[in-house]
A and B are shown apart, each in its own frame.
Chain A
Amino acid sequence: MERKTKINAEEGRQDLLITREFDLPLELLFRAYVEPEIVEQWMGTKVLKLENKVHGGWRFETSDPQGNVVLRTHGVIHEFVPEQKITRTFQMENTPYPAQLEFLVFEKLTDETSKLTMQMIFKSPADREEILKLPFSGGINMAHNRLEKVVRQLI
């Protein structure tokens, strides 16, 4: 299977870069980031708040299959330029992990394709490692779906 999503995490740095090209016009890619009912579908999370503007806030909630809330995340939107960029913070509530800073850049490749570049900046290189080393890193909800598949491949 082709790996469409690439992650560049250089040793000793406190950031990482996620890049992905989509078979979607830029307009549709950007809509997937701003319309709550669409965000909920692909992020697998409930959108409690999503204010798409400078100084706006966002808050998501993730539940396990039994409906127990396992994680809430929130942050503030610092920059919002439609179909160009979103700059925001990211924090996992009730965890010891420090806030992260995220720079999302949306680009048109052709009329039918687009590219997303997401730079995540952590408080320190150690914090980056700490978060990535957990098998359910980043979204934690992957523990319930992806982890199982990853594990099956390893056994």
Chain B
Amino acid sequence: MNLRRDVFQAIADPTRRAILLLLASQSLTAGAIAANFDTARPTVSKHLQILTECELLKQEQTGREIYYHLNPSKMKEIADFIEPFRQMWDDRFNKLESIMKNYQSKK
């Protein structure tokens, strides 16, 4: 129960979400991840530690380097996967509707 809560807290942080996005397509070392952010390196390390502790990330030793990659099975647990997708489109379409209503009234 506690762990589950931690997962949701982990992804509530914008930097941690950005890290997850970054790792969606590739595995990277801590240094390479930190290079993508203006935040201080120890802060990024802290984020990586949190994401690893709640199993959203996994570490893999390759030679002397440790690579971080997404743990897909944990990501799956985050939410009903259709619902966020639907909400994303619903949001976009709501926006489309309100923008075009402006165009309509300007006519």
A residues with CB within 8 A of B: 3-7, 9, 18, 20, 22-25, 28-29, 31-32, 38, 41-44, 64-66, 68, 70-71, 94-96, 116, 129, 132-140, 142-152, 154-155
A25-B104 contact given A64-B18, A133-B75, CB 8 Å threshold: yes
Please state if A154 and B79 are interface contacts (CB–CB under 8 Å).
Answer: yes
Which residue from chain A places its CB closest to the CB of B36 in the assembled complex? A68
A22-B97 contact given A28-B104, A138-B88, CB 8 Å threshold: yes
Which residue from chain B places its CB closest to the CB of A35 in the assembled complex? B103
* Chain A residues, CB < 8 A from B64: none
* Chain A residues, CB < 8 A from B88: 137-139, 142, 146
A64 to B38, CA, bound (A): 13
- CB A129 to nearest CB in B, in angstroms, measures 8
A22 to B84, CA, bound (A): 20
A136-B24 contact given A24-B97, A144-B17, CB 8 Å threshold: yes
Which B residues between 6 and 21 are near A, CB-CB below 8 angstroms? 8-9, 11-12, 14, 17-18, 20-21
Which B residues between 53 and 107 are near A, CB-CB below 8 angstroms? 72, 75-76, 78-79, 81-97, 99-101, 103-104
- CB A100 to nearest CB in B, in angstroms, measures 13
A43-B21 contact given A132-B85, A133-B76, CB 8 Å threshold: no
* Chain A residues, CB < 8 A from B85: 7, 132, 137-138, 142
6 closest cross-chain pairs (CB), A and B:
A5-B90, A142-B88, A42-B96, A42-B95, A95-B25, A28-B100
